[in-house]
Structure 1
């Protein structure tokens, strides 16, 4: 590997770290290779641009950097192909990587809250709710007790969704404080934790008053509250 390739890899490291953090927060979605490379480049450009702004504003307050030099991404990229030596300020890469991780949280917040689409809806230029899969949107929107219909085993689980999987071939859920019922809504047993792994068509999730009554009876709210208190006392 030549010197330029090594320097280029170091230069793009903040973008790689930023993208890793971002995917960890929002989940993994199918991407083409060129899209991931574009996202790495975006994180790199933004992180070095913010770093350059910080250095030019704070000056000598930023340790281990030369304030007279420009650390803009374009300048650093130009140096890679004009200098044949492996002289590269690793402190700059570390600073930029930290900024990139912070930017990942900001971008994740914008993505998860659908801020771009909400602005578009306010301006009446779109009716789309965003690119987030409805599986993710449901779990990020509703954080309450639900009914899981297991069509494969003809069972119903009443409990709280503690964890859910990213997009993939299987839908995976971890339920806590679970009550299990058969297809006739007859109570079977309780479980502290239930793990489910099913195909898309094998699960449905419900949150509505009618289904509460069909399983818990007319005093569903009281039963629900008592059930939760009992779990907390265990």
Structure 2
């Protein structure tokens, strides 16, 4: 393997770690290989940029001066452009340590739709986010108790959302404190601590339950 390629892989370690963490703790549409690589690159640059700011701050503290000529620059910037510059193991280790806060900060921006809200406030875009509406709806903070209508099987499930997932063909939902009613006449059938439901795309009807309607199967 080319030494330059090995250098790039080592340099990208903080970004890869940060991207893996972001993938696990954010709600988003599935990343393909290109997107994962792009996000790993961006998050890696973010980690190294944070490390560079720390180095600059330390230079200012040591010299008690803002003289830019005395500031030290990371070797990583030169290593990516030239094969003659060696990788600084210290910089890779420190940047890897910063990959966790970098991932948490990026996840905060994604999960709380910071850029989307800013764009909406500035009337630039009305896009709600990157994930599908199924995940977006169930991830809303006001979603707690819900009715899940399975009209085909004449059932209504009342319970609290525990977790959910979706792929190209199926939607999955786990609920707890579940009461099952007959859909057509709201007759209570049974109760269970938890339940796992799975259906083809779009076969669930999910409704948030207002507090005053808890205990009623169809909100009548």
Q: Deviations over 1:152-210 (max 9, x none)?
A: 43311111111111544321111111111122311111101101121122211112559
Q: Where in structure 1 do 4 or more consecutive aligned residues deviate above 4 Å?
A: 208-214
Deviation of residue 26 (structure 1)?
Answer: 1.3
Q: Is the 8 A contact 1:180 1:190 kept in 2?
A: yes
The equivalent position to 2:80 in structure 1, one of 66, 77, 81, is: 77
Match of 2:189 in 1: 188
Match of 1:39 in 2: 39
Could you list the runs of 5+ residues in structure 2 that have no partner in the other structure?
62-69
Q: Secondary structure at the match of 1:215?
A: coil
Q: Is the 8 A contact 2:29 2:131 kept in 1?
A: no
User: C-alpha separation between the residues in 2 aligned to 1:195 and 1:125?
Assistant: 40
Q: Deviations over 1:106-153 (max 9, x none)?
A: 122112222212222222222332333212221221331111112443
Instruction: Calculate the TM-score normalised by the size of structure 2.
Output: 0.81
Match of 1:131 in 2: 130
Q: 1:109 to 1:8 in 2, by over 3 A?
A: same
Give the length in aligned residue pairs: 209
| Larger helix fraction of residues | 1
Root mean square deviation, CA, Å: 2.9
Match of 1:230 in 2: none
Deviation of residue 24 (structure 1)?
Answer: 0.9
Q: Is the 8 A contact 1:28 1:166 kept in 2?
A: no
Aligned pairs for 1:54-133 within 5 A: 54-58=54-58, 70-71=73-74, 73-79=76-82, 81-83=83-85, 88-133=87-132
Q: Deviations over 1:71-106 (max 9, x none)?
A: 264223135x225xxx64333222212222212221
